[in-house]
Amino acid sequence: MTLRTSNLPKADTRASHIEIVITDILEAAQEEFAVNGFAGARMQVIADRAGYPKANVHYHFKNKTSLYLAVLDRIVTRWDDYLNDISVDDDPAVVLDTFIREKVQFSFDEPSASRLFANEIIHGAPHLRKHISSQIRPYVIDRVAVIQSWIDAGKMMSVDPMRLIFLIWSTTQHYADFQSQILIVTKQKKYTQEYRQETADFLSKLILSGCGLTLPSKNNELT
């Protein structure tokens, strides 16, 4: 609505101004791509939502595909930031509990990112194949090894570690990807803070218990 160019603080440099424009466009694009998919997304809508003329969007991003890739890259990067390191010496219960709660939080906090990602995978991951095999796969293999060592050490029940990771991914993502269905079934307008909390508690409890684990004692001081 308001023209960014005319009412910026004096101290603003060109570089930082550009960053704002780019971010505006990326955020608008993420929303549009998440809601309508790549093919369904409209450059005009993205431009409108970001608050710039369409040609401006094309100035900063060569074409629709490169804009989409930029959005994906941004999501994937933020995703990777969430990935915490775990070690053989850690307590399985604590690690899994933390992992689950972080994933749940991500789903509730950034549903459009989650949906865009899901969309890309459902459609065969045409733009993410490389990232999956070079980043995600090593990550999974690494965690699998640690979980397996816990099992070997008798610290938890014997369950297939990779499928356990898939299970955690799926159950947590579900609340973002299938939000519309869940809200209708539960007759809610939107997720409440309480619902989020109970969901995290539920998932943590059921999954840990499914692995034969229990949290040490105190477990309610997470954000």
Question: Which residues, 6+ apart, have CB-to-CB distance to 178 below 8 Å?
Answer: none
Question: What is the identity of the amino acid at 42?
Answer: R
Distances from the Cα of 40 to the Cαs of 4, 36, 132, 162, in angstroms? 28, 5, 24, 34
- 43 near a second copy, judged by CB under 8 A: no
Which of 16, 20, 23, 40 touches a second copy (CB under 8 A)? 40
- Contact by Cβ (8 Å): 78, 113: yes
Q: Which does 214 bind (CB under 5 to 8 A by kind): a second copy, DNA, none?
A: none
| Residue ranges in 182-221 that form contacts with a second copy under rule CB under 8 A | 182, 184-187, 198-199, 202-203, 205-207, 209-212
- Contact by Cβ (8 Å): 88, 149: yes
CA distance 183 to 193: 14
- CA angle 145/147/149 to nearest 5° reads 70
Which of 115, 150, 156, 191 touches a second copy (CB under 8 A)? 115
Our CB check for a second copy shows the closer of 21 and 151 to be 151
Binding segment (CB under 7 A) for DNA, from list 35-43, 80-88, 95-103, 175-183: 35-43
What residues make contact with a second copy under the rule CB under 8 A?
A: 35-40, 115, 118-119, 121-125, 128-129, 132-133, 136-137, 140, 157, 159-160, 162-164, 166-167, 169-171, 173-175, 177-178, 180-182, 184-187, 198-199, 202-203, 205-207, 209-212
